[in-house]
Amino acid sequence: MGFIKLWRPKALYLNLSRQTRGKQKWGITLLNAFPKKIRIFDTTLRDGEQTPGVSLTPDNKLRIAKSLDKLRVDVIEAGFPAVSEGEMEAVKLIAKEGLKAEICSFVRGTKSDIDVALKCDTQSVHLVIPTSDLHLQYKLKKTREEILKLVEESVQYAKDHGLVVELSAEDATRSEFNFVKEFFAKGISLGADRICPCDTVGVLTPEKSYKFFSDMRKTFKDIIISAHCHDDFGMGVANSIAALRAGAHQVHATINGLGERAGNAALEEIVAALKLIYGVKLPIKTELLYRTSTLVARLTGVPVQPNKAIVGENAFTHESGIHTHAILSHPLTYEPISPEFVGVTRRLVAGKHAGSHGIRASLEKIGLHPTDEQLKEISMRVKTLGDKGKKITDADLLAVAEAVMGLPQTSPIKLEELTVVTGDRVTSTASVRLKLNNKVVSEAATGLGPVDAAINAVRKAILVVEPINLEQYHVKAITGGTDAMVEVIVRLRRGDRTATAMGVREDIVMASVEAVLSGMNVLMADYHKRGHK
């Protein structure tokens, strides 16, 4: 019946995109006036860096710029060079790197800002001048006439110095539209190359954005029009896409949706929607999206929430039984985007909502093959743990399975004693005594702090028997007091196998040791090797 063919990922996406381009499933034609070439103007390093509390060193800015270039964005707004010496250095560094993307400096409507940009030698400037009465009166204390004068002087000056000029009207969406038009007409008459009416405080809606940019297109026919949307009401991405649908040529976006307040429209979301839902061709290398997101999160220190679209750690993770069962049968049932598209892999996790299919899949990975009856009991016990509010790791799943299947509880490693000394005038030192398959092993180690010392001692003791690596060590943010619960999650690797485990205590040292030992126990319970059926 050719059904499976119809539901190949590619077919699905094409199918979706055809719907939006021509006749729709529900009988109407949608008016998509996408331009031939859509341009991505990345502002992670400018508006994104303005995120409160974020400061990047010039070196780190360069690293991010390089990864944006690999992603193939069209423009990299490298920074606001007038803001500080270091920022100027950073922009200069990026400009002379010889990247494919156009490198752009943010400037206000003053000669001095443009002079600093010239020193940085960027190809273009993003020249921003406000147009709303609110900004004119309370921020600049200027009249509309004075604003037009600013436009005249600064565009003229920038063009005279050979710069590509993208002229932005700040707070355009709360400005009188006639004045916005006058503002841009003036800029264009003096040679501005691109224009951008900004939704500075994110008050657009998709329908308003569509209308607004349709009007812009009708008024300004021969120039690149750009959209700059903020996410204050959670609609930054939809508003950006609406602008493109109305014929805007370019969108401003940031990785992870960084930016002032609730941030800018997220680049990864715009790109995924354009490609997969609207079937638009874009040169963006989407398989680098996850990697880029991780780099930006790490260097800026701004975490991505697990339930963030496209790049959140849960975007391709499934727990609920209904979902994992279906995913195992056909991923598209609950995955509108294939993990490979973004450059990640799918994760199935056990938990209160898990069903037996997902749990069987997880157990088979560690070499356990429960009967149907046993599987039912294991699922039930996992749910019971979940009911108590527990997050289920590989270590928990193994313990439950062993109990149900009547296998001897795997616990070849037992902590007999741990002592750590630390302070400001003493090298952190730990001694540990472990029982390893009934043999007592003692080791001591130093480290950078008490946790490092303790884990070093444990690893040294184990290394005698098993080459196990600590691949990931993660401590959940601790909030409350110094006696708050600390949750440590680790992933350990031995050869091609990994195991996750967790430790929860008020004491970060003991929580870390608990997690590492519990993960080591999973890896040493090698049912594959033992040939268990």
Residues between 418 and 457 that touch its own copies (CB under 8 A) = 418-426, 428, 447-452, 455-456
Give me the least distance between CB of 357 and its own copies, in Å please: 11
Chain-centroid distance, C-alpha 512: 27
Give me the least distance between CB of 78 and its own copies, in Å please: 14
Parallel, antiparallel, or unpaired for β 486-494 and 497-505? antiparallel
CB contact set of 175 (below 8 Å; sequence gap of 6+): 131, 132, 133, 169
Q: What does the buried/exposed string (b/e) look like for 488-518 if buried means 16 or more CB atoms within 10 Å of the residue's CB?
A: bbbbbbbeebbbbbbbbbeebbbbbbbbbbb
Piece of 190-198, 202-210, 364-372, 400-408 that binds its own copies (CB under 8 A): 202-210
Check binding of 14 to its own copies (CB under 8 A).
no
C-alpha span between 266 and 430 (Å, rounded): 45
Check binding of 390 to its own copies (CB under 8 A).
yes
- Interface with its own copies (CB under 8 A), residue from 2, 5, 10, 26: 26
Piece of 158-166, 187-195, 359-367, 382-390 that binds its own copies (CB under 8 A): 382-390
Residues between 218 and 257 that touch its own copies (CB under 8 A) = 231-235, 237-239, 241-242, 245, 256-257
Using only C-alpha atoms, the chain has a radius of gyration, in whole angstroms, of 28
C-alpha span between 80 and 74 (Å, rounded): 18
Residues between 277 and 336 that touch its own copies (CB under 8 A) = 277-278, 298, 301-310, 312, 314-323, 325-326, 329-330, 332-336
C-alpha span between 195 and 371 (Å, rounded): 66
Check binding of 2 to its own copies (CB under 8 A).
no
Give me the least distance between CB of 130 and its own copies, in Å please: 9
Nearer residue to its own copies within complex by CB, 262 or 288: 262
Check binding of 414 to its own copies (CB under 8 A).
no
DSSP state of 409: P
Chain-centroid distance, C-alpha 53: 18
CA-to-CA dists, residue 176 to 130, 169, 182, 496, angstroms: 12, 11, 10, 63
Q: How many residues interact with its own copies (rule CB under 8 A)?
A: 172
Give me the least distance between CB of 469 and its own copies, in Å please: 10
Piece of 117-125, 183-191, 472-480, 491-499 that binds its own copies (CB under 8 A): 472-480
Give me the least distance between CB of 123 and its own copies, in Å please: 23
Provide the 10 A C-beta neighbour count for residue 160.
11
Residues between 394 and 413 that touch its own copies (CB under 8 A) = none
428 burial class (0-12, 13-18, 19+ CB within 10 angstroms)?
Answer: buried
CB contact set of 353 (below 8 Å; sequence gap of 6+): 319, 320, 321, 386
- Interface with its own copies (CB under 8 A), residue from 162, 408, 481, 531: 481
CA-to-CA dists, residue 52 to 49, 55, 126, 154, angstroms: 8, 9, 21, 29
Residues between 140 and 169 that touch its own copies (CB under 8 A) = none
Nearer residue to its own copies within complex by CB, 42 or 335: 335
Contact present, 472 and 502 (Cβ < 8 Å): no
Give me the least distance between CB of 160 and its own copies, in Å please: 25
C-alpha span between 182 and 345 (Å, rounded): 51
- Kindly write out the interface string for residues 177-196 of this chain, putting x where it contacts its own copies by CB under 8 A and - elsewhere: x-------------------
Check binding of 215 to its own copies (CB under 8 A).
yes
CA neighbor of 470 nearest in space, from 443, 451, 449: 451
- Kindly write out the interface string for residues 482-521 of this chain, putting x where it contacts its own copies by CB under 8 A and - elsewhere: xxx-xx-----------------xxxxxx-xx--------
Strands (E), 97-245: 102-108, 124-130, 164-170, 194-199, 224-229
Residues between 33 and 92 that touch its own copies (CB under 8 A) = 49-58, 60, 80, 83-87, 89-90
Check binding of 353 to its own copies (CB under 8 A).
yes
CB contact set of 152 (below 8 Å; sequence gap of 6+): 186, 190
Nearer residue to its own copies within complex by CB, 308 or 494: 308
Give me the least distance between CB of 530 and its own copies, in Å please: 30
